[in-house]
Chains A and B, each alone.
Chain A
Amino acid sequence: MSKKRTKKNVEDTSGEKAVKVPRSWNPSIVVFACNWCSYAGADTAGVSRFQHQPYFRIIRVMCSGRIQPGFVLKAFEKGADGVLVSGCHFGDCHYIFGNERAVEQFEKTKAIVRLLGIKEGRLRLEWISAAEGNRFAQVINEFTDQVRALGPSPFAGIKLGA
């Protein structure tokens, strides 16, 4: 059966099997946010009424340095379409160097995700401070669209029409 070589098919070459996505599908994103900056940033976005897409769930951790590859991999294993890790800007970590640990762990996470063939666009690291409500909304919107374009995760177990 020949597939029409549209631009989407040609670009869609790395890692995952292509699936056709119904328009009603929205991504399921897991956000790991540190308590002091990023989670507070999310609150600020809410209080300031910055509008953003709702297709994510936040898991609050005390520090982004807590986020080990196992957390992110578990999220993907359970079918998350995208994972966003967010912490304080360098120099602002509540625990001084936690966000440096976050970067170290994130590098390992990225390496495993790449080995597994999960599209790299599904994983992102951001630094969002408590005051950056608008940035939180912006990142969420961008990331949701980015993940939507990648389609459902191959581990999501969603049966879509062929």
Chain B
Amino acid sequence: MSELFEIAKRTHAWACYDCGKCTASCPIARAGADYIPRRQVLGTNLGQSREIFSNGTLYRCLTCSLCDARCPAGVGFTQLVQNLRELAFHDGVEPECPHGGALQSAMRMMAKGGTQQNRLGWLTRDLKTDPKKGTVFFWTGCTMYYDAFFTDFNVHTLEGTKASIKLLNKLGITPVVSPEERCCGHDLLWNGDRTNFEKLVKHNVELVANSGAEVIVTSCAECLRTWRIDYAPYYTGMPPKVMHITEYIAANKDKLKFKKTDITKVTYQDPCRLGRHLGIYDPPRELLQALPGVELIEMLHHRQSSTCCAGGPWSNCDRYAKFIQVERLKEARDTGAQLMLTACPKCQIHFQCAMQDPKLKLDIEIKMRDIAELIADALAL
């Protein structure tokens, strides 16, 4: 198949020399799933579409890029999976979406447009924002939707959003927080739905361009990756600079005087989109180091080896994901930290979900907060 050939070329799949390091690294394969990344690469190179296109194989991958980080031949496995999913989507291959596809439905409705979302109900008077124009655009992402949906367990992703805005305000910035913002499309893209992704991109790029913003700051690692990498082909002219809130604050940390809080020991979950996808490991650590009295105790697997939260774009929820989450939470507990910090709402949601298990709760429960919240606390905001 010529499309497979093109994909193999584009993602360097042809470079594979069958060492199997990808399979050995893959958290899903190690959890015991019937999933072999190496076979997927070989299948692409040999044009075996039936094997590699099945829903079961294509959607096992967490797209966490641990294989990419380890591959000695430079095969772009994550990108390969993304390309294969798009190709398969045309043939009607879709993931088995958890939550009855609710999140995907909401995203597709946003892609279609036609309604005025009521997405800023959480904005309080003390958060200074502008709905239309500014030099800095704060990209909220879908945190308000997640908090509305996951009311059954401790999901408070909006706290990270609010804390990020407080941090920007403290630096004298009134960011744009737009009621016209739509989902960045990350999940739809990784579900193979390029068409709806493009509708979202078109809208969002225009929205930010009209605001006059030169910088986009976000507290969501997935939105960051999507804006920086996946939106890039859709810009005409100069793309805005896109930064994670930790990057932005770390670059400006000399202007801030951090105070002691009652938190002394923390651990930090490197999100795969921030870490392996974008190489951003240091800014969050620089910030934690700047906090007086706070000690960062790294988990066994950290930085480039950090374990994905196994949530994926709402297409990976299964017992292997649960196994990975439980193992990771045990690692977090082993550090003795009071708090597990995340830099991505998805990590927060998926680990909080895993903690609900009544049989494992005692062993894996740990308090979780977004890193922006702790930084804001250290500034008494």
Interface residues of A in 1-55 (CB under 8 A from B): 14-17
A39-77, CB under 8 A of B: which get 1 and which 0? 000000000000000000000000000001111011011
Contacts of B118 in A (CB 8 A): 15, 114-117
Which of B33-41, B109-117, B123-131 participates in binding chain A? B109-117
Would B116 and A70 count as touching, CB distance under 8 A? no
Which of B100-108, B229-237, B326-334 participates in binding chain A? B100-108
Does any Cβ of A come within 8 Å of B148's Cβ?
A: yes
Minimum distance in angstroms from A80 CB to a CB of chain B: 11
Q: In the bound complex, how far is the Cα of B109 from the Cα of A118, in angstroms?
A: 10
Would B115 and A116 count as touching, CB distance under 8 A? yes
Contacts of B241 in A (CB 8 A): none
Would A77 and B105 count as touching, CB distance under 8 A? yes
Would A70 and B102 count as touching, CB distance under 8 A? yes
Q: In the bound complex, how far is the Cα of B102 from the Cα of A77, in angstroms?
A: 10
Q: In the bound complex, how far is the Cα of B370 from the Cα of A70, in angstroms?
A: 27
Minimum distance in angstroms from B90 CB to a CB of chain A: 20
For the complex, count residues of B whose C-beta is within 8 A of A.
Answer: 23
Would A73 and B115 count as touching, CB distance under 8 A? no
Would A69 and B117 count as touching, CB distance under 8 A? no
Interface residues of A in 62-105 (CB under 8 A from B): 68-71, 73-74, 76-77
Q: In the bound complex, how far is the Cα of B295 from the Cα of A123, in angstroms?
A: 50
Specify which of A17, A73, A108, A111 is in contact with B105 (CB 8 Å cutoff): A73
Interface size range of chain A in the complex? 20 to 34
Minimum distance in angstroms from B220 CB to a CB of chain A: 17
Interface centre among B105, B144, B151 (most CB of A within 10 A): B105
Q: A112-B149, A117-B116 are in contact. Are A69 and B109 (CB under 8 A)?
A: no
Contacts of B17 in A (CB 8 A): none
Contacts of A112 in B (CB 8 A): 102, 106, 145, 148-149
Minimum distance in angstroms from B142 CB to a CB of chain A: 9
Would A73 and B116 count as touching, CB distance under 8 A? no
Interface residues of B in 43-98 (CB under 8 A from A): 97
Interface residues of A in 114-162 (CB under 8 A from B): 114-118, 154-155
Does any Cβ of A come within 8 Å of B194's Cβ?
A: no
Would B100 and A74 count as touching, CB distance under 8 A? yes
Would B149 and A69 count as touching, CB distance under 8 A? yes
- Of all chain B residues, the one with the shortest Cβ separation from A119 is B115
Specify which of A15, A108, A117, A155 is in contact with B149 (CB 8 Å cutoff): A108
Contacts of A15 in B (CB 8 A): 115-116, 118
Would A155 and B102 count as touching, CB distance under 8 A? no
- Of all chain A residues, the one with the shortest Cβ separation from B148 is A111
Contacts of B151 in A (CB 8 A): 107-108
Does any Cβ of A come within 8 Å of B170's Cβ?
A: no
Contacts of B97 in A (CB 8 A): 70
Q: A76-B105, A108-B151, A112-B106 are in contact. Are A117 and B100 (CB under 8 A)?
A: no
- Of all chain A residues, the one with the shortest Cβ separation from B98 is A70
Would A155 and B109 count as touching, CB distance under 8 A? yes
Contacts of A70 in B (CB 8 A): 97, 99-102, 105
Does any Cβ of A come within 8 Å of B119's Cβ?
A: yes
Q: In the bound complex, how far is the Cα of B328 from the Cα of A128, in angstroms?
A: 47
Contacts of A69 in B (CB 8 A): 99-100, 102, 149
* 27 contacts across the A-B interface (CB closer than 8 A): A15-B116, A16-B114, A16-B115, A17-B115, A68-B99, A70-B101, A70-B102, A73-B102, A74-B100, A74-B101, A74-B105, A77-B105, A77-B109, A107-B151, A111-B149, A112-B102, A112-B106, A112-B145, A115-B145, A115-B148, A116-B106, A116-B110, A116-B118, A117-B115, A117-B116, A118-B109, A154-B114
- B residues whose Cβ falls under 8 Å from a Cβ of A: 97, 99-102, 105-106, 108-110, 112-119, 144-145, 148-149, 151
Known A16-B116, A116-B106, A116-B115; 17 more pairs at CB < 8 Å: A14-B116, A15-B115, A68-B102, A69-B102, A69-B149, A70-B99, A70-B101, A70-B105, A73-B102, A77-B105, A111-B148, A115-B117, A115-B118, A116-B109, A116-B110, A118-B115, A155-B109
